[in-house]
Amino acid sequence: MEELESKKSTTRFFVELLEIVLIAFALSWVLRTYVVEARKIPTGSMLPTIQLQDRVIVDKFFFKEIGHLTRGDIVVFKPPASAHATEDFIKRIIGLPGDKIEIRNHTTYVNDKPLYEPYILEKSKNDYGPIVVPQDSVFVMGDNRNNSDDSRVWGTLPIKNITGRTLFRYWPLDHFGALAR
């Protein structure tokens, strides 16, 4: 009788353990797919704000629910087909729908006003535009302006391509915190 109870107890333990593992896996999949995701930065296009191999947390839910993107947000997105890329990109929003964007004499202008950009590595070497950002799109650029494949190369980014907005850097620990805006 004790042996039968012991087998039942062992079986119950493994069934409960399997349930816990499956629930944990399902929750982590849902969270990562729809709510928040950790990302490792593979390129230097966002230097000096984000370093190579830094890790950031990306909000994939609340920015969609609030529907509020602002100039200066750093977003993760699926690049448009004209970018000829398969991996997600991370860039800073410079222009919102309806904005006029122009780069001249090494300065970025939004609606004919110079954009204050303390976060860039160096000013753009080349002139660009002017263009007006379509209503369903944004204009994005990397902070490393002269080493970034961005809207200046492949055009404006459809808002529907944005998968998330960065919340903060969590690695390396000595750089933990919000990213420069």
Global pTM exceeds 0.75? yes
8, 9, 40, 91: the catalytic one is 91
Distance CA 44, CA 30 (A): 30
Residue 9 is among the residues annotated as catalytic for this protein: no
9, 28, 40, 45: the catalytic one is 45
Burial class (CB in 10 A: 0-12, 13-18, 19+), 148: buried
- Six token digits for residue 16: 């409960």
Which residues have a Cβ under 8 Å from the Cβ of 160 and sit 6 or more positions away? 136
Per-residue pLDDT of the chain (181 residues; tens, 9 = 90+): 677 677 778 888 888 888 888 888 777 776 666 678 888 998 999 999 998 999 999 988 776 655 678 999 999 999 998 888 889 999 999 999 999 999 999 999 999 999 999 999 899 999 998 999 999 999 999 999 999 999 999 999 999 999 999 988 998 888 888 887 7
Sign (positive or negative) of CA dihedral 19, 22, 27, 30: negative
Residue 45 is among the residues annotated as catalytic for this protein: yes
